[in-house]
Amino acid sequence: MTLALPPYAELLGLSTRRDDDGGLLWVMPFRDQVIGRPGFLHGGAIAGLLEFAALGTLYEALAGQTGVRPKPINVSVDFMRGGTDTETYAAAVITRLGKRVANVEAHAWQQDRGRPIAAARMNLLLSRAEPNTRQD
Blockwise average pLDDT, block size 10, the chain, 136 residues: 75 93 94 89 96 95 90 96 95 96 98 96 91 56
Q: Quote the pLDDT of residue 131.
A: 62
Q: Quote the pLDDT of residue 39.
A: 86
Q: Quote the pLDDT of residue 133.
A: 53
Cα 125–Cα 68–Cα 97 angle in degrees, nearest 5? 55
Domain 7-128 matching CATH 3.50.50.60: the answer reads no
List the chain domain ranges. 7-128
Contact 57, 97 (CB under 8 A): no
Q: Which residues contact 86 (CB under 8 A, 6 or more apart)?
A: 30, 110, 111
Residue 115 has φ and ψ, to the nearest 5°, of: -125, 75
Q: Quote the pLDDT of residue 1.
A: 45
* 43 CB neighbour count, 10 Å cutoff: 14
> CA-to-CA distance for 60 and 47, rounded, in angstroms?
20
CA quadruple 60, 12, 20, 68: dihedral, nearest 10: -10
Q: What's the Cα-to-Cα distance from 4 to each of 47, 107, 133, 134, rounded to whole Å? A: 20, 22, 33, 34
Q: What's the Cα-to-Cα distance from 48 to each of 27, 44, 97, 122, 131, rounded to whole Å? A: 12, 6, 22, 12, 33
Contact 87, 113 (CB under 8 A): no
Q: Quote the pLDDT of residue 66.
A: 86
DSSP state of 26: E
